[in-house]
Every structure is written in structure tokens, then in C-alpha cells.
Amino acid sequence: VTGASFVVFNGALKTSSGFLAKSSIVEDGLMVQITRETMESLRQALRDKKDFQITCGKMDAEDVKEYVDICWVESEEKTNEG
């Protein structure tokens, strides 16, 4: 589990790269490089307020992969309102 101040989703990852998705820590945040198709699915999940999981790693790797989970929660913090 990684805590981050911000998350950047970059939808420019080419399918020919051999990666499902790539995640990396940048400064005090997280950058997730995904394909255009995954970006469209992510956008739809955000619009529908549905949980979404991004699998990171090489397409042909059989070992353990990294996952970026976007989860909606019931309680909302009231900080930074307005």
C-alpha cells in the first residue's frame, strides 16, 4: 500500500510496449501509465462511481503483478469544503 498526495493517470501507453500498465512514484505522488482503452474504461468507472482495478506489469510476465485500485468509500471527509 502506498500513500500519495496526488495521482496522475497518463493514457499514452502504447500496447506495443509490452506492458499492461506501469506505475511509478513521482515526488510525493503516483503516476500510472495506461493504454487508451484502459483510460476510457477508467473514465466510465469514475462517471459511474464504480471501483476500478488497473493491473501493472509486463503482459507476458507470470509472476506477481502490481495493482492500482480505485475504490469508492461510504464516508466522506468534510475537510477542504468550499
Q: Do the strands 19-26 and 52-58 form a parallel or antiparallel pair, or are they unpaired?
A: antiparallel
Separation between Cα atoms, residue 19 and residue 56, nearest integer Å: 7
Provide the mean pLDDT of the chain: 88
Spans of the chain, pLDDT less than 50? none
Domains and CATH numbers, the chain: 6-70 (3.30.1360.220)
pTM of the model: 0.79
pLDDT digits (tens, 9 = 90+) for 30-53: 999 999 999 999 999 999 999 999
